[in-house]
Each structure stands twice: as structure tokens, then as C-alpha cells.
Amino acid sequence: MKRIGILTAGGDTPALNATIYGAVQRANALKIEVVGLLRGYAGLLDPQVPHVLLNPLYSSIPELDPCKGGTLIGSSRTYLDHNSHEHLQVAGRHVAKLQLDGLICIGGDGTINGMQQLAEMLPCVLAPKTIDNDLGLNYPGEPDEWQRPQGAEGPSVRGVRSRDTLRLEDIINYATPGFATAVFVVVQMVERLRTTAESHHRIAVVEVMGRQSGYIALGAAYAQPDIILIPEVPVDPHQLTQQVSRIYDQQQNVVIVVGEGVRGVDGRELGAAEPAFDPAGNVKYAGAADAIVGMLEQSLSPDLFLETRRFEPGSSALFSRKVGHTQRGGRPILFDRFAATQLGGKAVELLAAGYSNEIATLQYSATDGFTFRSIAANRLRDRWGEIHPREVHPSLYDAGRMQLSSLGMEYLKPIFTRAVGADDVEYMRREVFDAGCLSNRYQSINSDIRRRIRYL
């Protein structure tokens, strides 16, 4: 293998450049050229196929910084349509003209769907990324638990789980690059909102990302919110009201963290959902926190606020905030840089060893710590070919307390105990208020990379 391509597809995460960096460094050692395809699959379909040689003379270009968030080769939500013979023909011609012997796709479930079309033309490997931490399995064979009523059309539905609890060693792809940094951002915001809630005796509802998976909300437990609501467990209005009333009566403030995909007891999303341009069938969520605020405005007794907010309406005690896209950007913390660079390097090794349609994975065991392995991409699919977002297993969450369970704590500790490095702290001390930022304009990586772009 002499020349491989690499692309980033789907939404951005803080650790994409770190993954590219790891791949390029391993390719340098193996004397393999790495071509960065700009704008993901869109670049591969572009008649000019804009691309960048990332390691001329087997030396990484200086613009490739694993400590910088985002992706220097750009991304898009354009995917290969498996029903479009023309798309596949175009992609095949461009792969041949670039003389690629293999391709690394950095992405999530939607990226896999596009990659599998290309795997029929050349060896392809996925390096996982998503802040949602929903790419993987709680245990081998989990996709077989999804069912469809006989003769029914439409998406699969989850059947009865085969395991009541988890063994952490069995989790396939323990954590995805970007997840730890997203939780780091959320924890900082929740901690800051807590002091406002305390000072004004208010109830704060903080909405975090994660789509249908509650891992980011689960990780927010490090900020000590009073209540955590995850999409996997329907919100019971009566239980929530009782819990909020009890906590507010005790401490005169409440902080609630809610995953954006939370559902009511009827199974419907509490926030608004609209289709997204994504072949994995993902949707955009908005307003889950507002929905929880509206629910509590109707159910909480005005007498609850007599002592603290006698001269203000009870509804003024509640407010919502969305952490939003800050979870997806900025400098990745140490754990994400470590996991991303190693997974990028693993992806190159898999290609060099002759693997295709494979996913590099991060595994954990108490005896070996973190190790890097792989799994065939099709093992994530159910019998109808669907890839389902990995959900928070019930054993990781205490639904009665609306909090992390004991096993949930054990799950998070390996990721976050040393997730922030000394260099992360030093960066904040040295760079955040650097006086040079006042006089110098921001230098975009896009401007630097444009000087290196080549075309067919």
C-alpha cells in the first residue's frame, strides 16, 4: 500500500484533526502517502476533487495540529447515495485517478453507510468520531435484539434486552473521540449556571446534545446536577415534579440536565424534531429544555416559591439554557487527543494489513486499560441492515433517583479520571488572554490549506 485517502464526514467534533494527525504519523512510519479529500464525500464527487497531500516526503504538514479542534480538510453532510449508480461511478473514477490504494473515513453511522459503497471499489476503514458516544455496542450481538413485526415496514424497534447489566470489558468502542471534550464543556457550563441558580433561588434546565443517546447528559454528573434526564428513560411528569419540589424545598435551587432527545411517557420527543440532511435518518432536536420548563410551570405549586420569590411570579423561577454547538468545537482535551490519534493510527494499520469495511475501536478492561482493536462494520447492523445509535444501558442509570447509577460511575471513571492534561491547563493560562489576540486577526486554517489544494 503506497497511497491512501482520508476524509472527514458529518458533524464536526473537537478531535478530528487529532485523528488525522495519528493517521498521518503512522503512515509516515510505513512510508505511505496520505491524501486529504476536502469536504468529505462532497469532495470525492466534485469534478475537480480538491485534495491536499498531508505528508509530502513522509513528513506531516505544519498546519496539521492535533491540539486544534475541527478538521483542516473540511467536512460536509453529503453522502454517497447507494441507489445512485452515477454517484458510485463518479467516485470510482476519481479514486482511480488519485491512485488511492485505500481510504480512511472519519465519521459516525452515516459515514459508515457511505463508506460501505466505496468498500466495493477499494479497501476502506472507519475511524470513529462523534461527541454523542453512540457509535458502538453495549455488548456483542446487541443488534440482534432489534425487531420488526412480521410483514411490517418501517424502522426496527428494540426488543427485550438480553442482558440486565453490563460488563465494561464487553463494550465495543468504549468511548468515541469528541465525547470527553463535549462533557468537559458541559460540566463547565453547568457549574457556572449552578451559582446563578443558587444566588437567585431558581430552577435551571440545561439542554445538552446527544440525539437519542444520553451519554453527554450522563457525563454531566461531574458537575453534580440535581437531576439528569436521558432519552432512554421516558420522563414521568409526576415523578419529576415530586423530585424537583423536594430538592427545591431543601436547597432553594435546582439544576436539571436534559438530553436533547428526551421523550415523554407516550414515546414522543418532548422537544421539536425536524428532518436533517443525513442518510442515517438522524433528526435535529430543539427545545427539550423549554418543554421541561413548560411542564414544570404547569405542575409545580406556586406555594413552593413563597419564601424565596414572594414578589415575583412562580414561573420566573424557571429558566432554560442550551449548551449548543460549543460542545462540538474548540481544543480537544487530553483523553480525546490520545484516543483520536491512536484510532487514526490503528485505521492505517488495518488498511496496511488488508482489512476493509472495518471500524477501528477503543476497548477497555480493568487489567489492560485502554487498547485499540477493530470490528467488521456489518456487526453494527441489525438483520435489516440498520445501524442503531448506541443507547445508555439501563444499568448505567438510576431511573428512580434520576441520576447516574453505581455502574454508570464505574463506566465514566476510566475516561475522565485523567482526561484533562497539564498542557490543557497551561494552554488556558497562557493563551486565553494573550495580549496578541487584541491586535492580531484570527488566522483561519482554511486560508492556509487553500494554498496547498490540488485538483485533478
Q: How many domains does the chain divide into?
A: 2
CB atoms within 10 A of CB 234: 15
Are 370 and 323 members of one domain?
no
Q: Measure Cα distances from 290 to 248, 270, 271, 295 in Å.
A: 19, 9, 8, 9
pLDDT beyond 70 at 284: no
Note whether 75 and 44 are within 8 A (CB): no
pLDDT beyond 70 at 278: no
The Cα–Cα gap between 178 and 416 comes to: 13
Listing DSSP states for 60-96 in one string gives --TT--TTS-S-TT---S----TT-HHHHHHHHHHHH
Domain with 55 in it:
3-142+332-388+425-450
Q: pTM for this structure?
A: 0.95
Are 312 and 339 members of one domain?
no
Name the packing angle between helices 16-29 and 334-352 (round to 10°): 40
pLDDT beyond 90 at 90: yes
* Mean pLDDT of all residues in 150-173: 88
The Cα–Cα gap between 375 and 174 comes to: 13
pLDDT beyond 90 at 314: no
Q: In this predicted structure, what is the pLDDT of residue 194?
A: 97
Instruction: Tell me the one-letter amino acid at 351.
Output: L
Are 135 and 205 members of one domain?
no
Are 438 and 321 members of one domain?
no
Q: Is residue 173 part of a domain?
A: no
User: Where among 328, 351, 370 does a domain terminate?
Assistant: 328
User: Where among 328, 343, 371 does a domain terminate?
Assistant: 328
Coil vs helix vs strand at 145: helix
Q: Is residue 168 part of a domain?
A: no
Are 199 and 292 members of one domain?
yes
The catalytic site residues sit at 132
Are 353 and 438 members of one domain?
yes
Are 206 and 79 members of one domain?
no
CB atoms within 10 A of CB 406: 10
CATH number at residue 212: 3.40.50.460
Model confidence band, residue 282 (pLDDT cutoffs 50, 70, 90): low
In this structure, the dihedral spanned by the alpha carbons of residues 373, 378, 381 and 386, taken in order and rounded to 10 degrees, is 130
Q: What is the grid cell recorded at 271? A: 422537544
Least confident of 2-6, 22-26, 113-117, 167-171: 113-117
The Cα–Cα gap between 183 and 223 comes to: 10
Which runs of consecutive H residues, i.e. helices, occur in 364-421?
406-416
**Tens-digit pLDDT profile for residues 119-139:** 999 999 999 999 999 999 999
Q: Is residue 340 part of a domain?
A: yes
The Cα–Cα gap between 213 and 187 comes to: 18
Listing DSSP states for 284-326 in one string gives EEE-HHHHHHHHHHHHS-GGGGTTT-TTS-GGGGEEEEE-GGG
* Mean pLDDT of all residues in 277-290: 68
Contacting residues for 351 by C-beta, under 8 A, at least 6 apart? 1, 4, 101, 102, 104, 123, 125
Of the two residues 28 and 116, the one the predictor is more confident about is: 28
| 224 DSSP assignment | -
Q: Is residue 407 part of a domain?
A: no
Helix, strand, coil % (nearest 5) of the chain? 40, 20, 40
Are 33 and 129 members of one domain?
yes
User: Where among 328, 346, 368 does a domain terminate?
Assistant: 328
Coil vs helix vs strand at 103: strand
CATH number at residue 38: 3.40.50.450
CB atoms within 10 A of CB 283: 15
Are 268 and 305 members of one domain?
yes
